[in-house]
Amino acid sequence: MRVKLADRIGFCFGVKRAIHMAEAALKERKKVYSLGSIIHNSQVVESLAGKGLAIIKDLDETKGGAVLISSHGAPPEIFKKIKARGIEIIDTTCPFVLHAQRIAGEMAREGYDVIIVGDQAHPEVKAIVGSASGRGVVISDKDDPALADLGCSRKVAAVAQTTQRLDNLFDVAGRILKKRPREMRIFNTICSDTGRRQETVSDLSMRVDAMIIIGGRHSANTNRLFEVCKNECESHLVETEADLREEWFSGRETIGIASGASTPAWVIKKVVNMIENLKTKSVKRKVKV
Ligand code: SF4
């Protein structure tokens, strides 16, 4: 059994940057809070919590110190609330997410209805909706009932959650165009790392018998990779090596490994080592037979 790693593996630029900013803040300040998870990977969040980062759900839990805004960003009213309390803000919002927020804000100010293609429960999407000043509507995909209920706007702008698949953005935009708006603008706000990762992983999944995707179950980009791989071959999403099952590898000649953008190298290494061990065990069993 051969193990092939995807070309892009481990942290993306935005996650690296957020972790670096969090670690620097923890060294320099007495108390640092994170409003929600700084990134969607429990192993990284636990590691930062071990270094002193306090994860909070509500600003009432703060006692001075500084508040980290996650790489997914936050709606403008959250920034206002933190400032009103006189608390320092360390903003780790990924520049790609910031770009989508800015476009949504500009379009709303110019009178466009803003369609955000993405998952409405995701913090990044909530932040983009907040930037659209009441003109934002979230649509998950072309079959979303909210799309059918959408009236015909004169001016529509579509942006995507940074981790979306491009075909989903175009499918939704296509359905909106059928409502015949007078003007429609489509912005490809999918981040370049996500797009590239999806392409390379799709390519790899066509050349292997099964794929293992390593990443947080709440990580949007990890789940997108899983969706891409599932279309091509048997695929499994694991958070750590503990989730691996021996039977996934029996009779396989090639296994592909991919990771989400927030999966740390140390977790990937443990998963790869465990797969290598399973391989050795299975070879030994065959020799015995
Ligand atoms: S996946 Fe893209 S948008 Fe998300 S943090 Fe990484 S670089 Fe930024």
Residue 239 Cα, ligand 1 centroid: separation in angstroms?
A: 19
pTM recorded for the entire structure: 0.88
104: left (phi over 0), alpha (psi -120 to 50) or beta: alpha
Indicate which atom in ligand 1 lies nearest the CA of residue 192. 2
**Domain residue ranges in the chain:** 2-10+192-288, 13-93, 96-186
Q: Name the maximum alpha-carbon separation found in the chain.
A: 73
Task: Decide whether 13-93 matches 96-186 in CATH topology.
Answer: no
Q: Report the CATH architecture of 96-186.
A: 3-Layer(aba) Sandwich (3.40)
Q: Is 8 in the pocket of ligand 1 (CB under 6 A)?
A: no
Q: Which residue has the tokens 């050795």?
A: 280
pLDDT score at 241: 96
Tens digits of per-residue pLDDT, 219-238?
989 999 999 999 999 999 99
Q: Which residue has the tokens 């593996």?
A: 9
pLDDT score at 285: 56
Lowest mean pLDDT among 30-44, 71-85, 98-112, 124-138: 30-44
CATH fold for domain 13-93: Rossmann fold (3.40.50)
Look at residues 98, 56, 102, 45 and name the one whose alpha carbon lies nearest to residue 81: 56
Tens digits of per-residue pLDDT, 106-157?
999 999 999 999 999 999 999 999 999 999 999 999 999 998 888 777 899 9
Tens digits of per-residue pLDDT, 158-172?
999 999 989 999 999
Contacts of 21 (CB under 8 A, 6+ apart): 68, 90, 92
pLDDT score at 281: 65
CA distance 79 to 88: 10
* Whole-number Cα distances in Å, 130 to 29, 113, 145, 230, 265: 29, 13, 22, 33, 34
Is residue 279 over pLDDT 80?
A: no
Considering the chain, what is the average pLDDT of its residues? Answer: 92
CATH 3.40.1010.20, domain 2-10+192-288, yes or no: yes
Catalytic residue, chosen from 46, 106, 124, 239, is 124
